[in-house]
Amino acid sequence: MTLIGTKMVEDGRTAREIFEELIGNPARKKFGFGNKLAIVNVDVQQAYTRTDMFKTAYETDPKQIEYINQISAGARAKDMPVIWSRVAYKDDAADAGVWGTRTDTEDSLQNIRYGSERHKLDPRCEVGANDLQYTKRMPSAFFETQLASYLVWHKVDTVVVTGGSTSGCVRATAVDALSYGYRTIVPIETCADKHESYHYANLTDLQIKYADVEPVQTAGRQDLRCVGGAQSGVLRT
């Protein structure tokens, strides 16, 4: 039988090496930026950012939140929406559904309570007075939330996804953004995960299929030009 497709490749490269090769030699056309973007900052909350407080927290780039603040401020200055999602559950965790059934320790996802320290945004986050904030229950910032209707109301056509984890809620949000018809951008340095392999494997998959995975400087420059025309962008560098 003639092989036309591909057998799974096993070549000993790390997830990071594969990602860096992909980014260095892009083979596909970019989705690019449209006319108006929104910044969707996913779960930049203490449960996942405060490595000095919680076992569930992780750090990839120490400047992650600084970058998130910069591109969010740039979008805000251009009257483009900035959104912050968090995750939490009621006291009996009944709203966590099947997602909350795999473990049950004090550190488990379903034991993040509304108003708790784990639920709070990281104090380094610079949130604007008119930024949208809400609590979600599932991985995607779109699932059973007001996000989709909010973006429609603001005539957004491009979604920039930041936060954590890269392999979890960032990925789920980016896939849903594309599924809803948005040009989707994931700035590399604004995302974080627990392990290099998870982080880079998912950035690779997002880049190949669902999003433009870009250095934050590239995403920022594009954001500043985003009002008034395609390929137009938030961060001056």
Distances in Å between the alpha carbon of 37 and those of 102, 140, 162, 208, 219? Answer: 36, 18, 13, 21, 11
Burial of 157 (0-12, 13-18, 19+ CB in 10 A): middle
Q: How far apart are CA 81 and CA 109, in angstroms?
A: 28
**CA–CA dist 145, 99 (Å, integer):** 17
Residues tagged active-site: 169
Q: Give the integer Cα–Cα distance in Å for 206 and 111.
A: 29
Distances (CA, A) of 192 to 60, 135, 162: 5, 20, 9
Distance (Å, whole) CA 10 – CA 4? 18
CB atoms within 10 A of CB 196: 13
- Per the CB < 8 A criterion, the answer to whether 60 and 192 are in contact is yes
Cα–Cα nearest to 154, from 20, 34, 27: 34
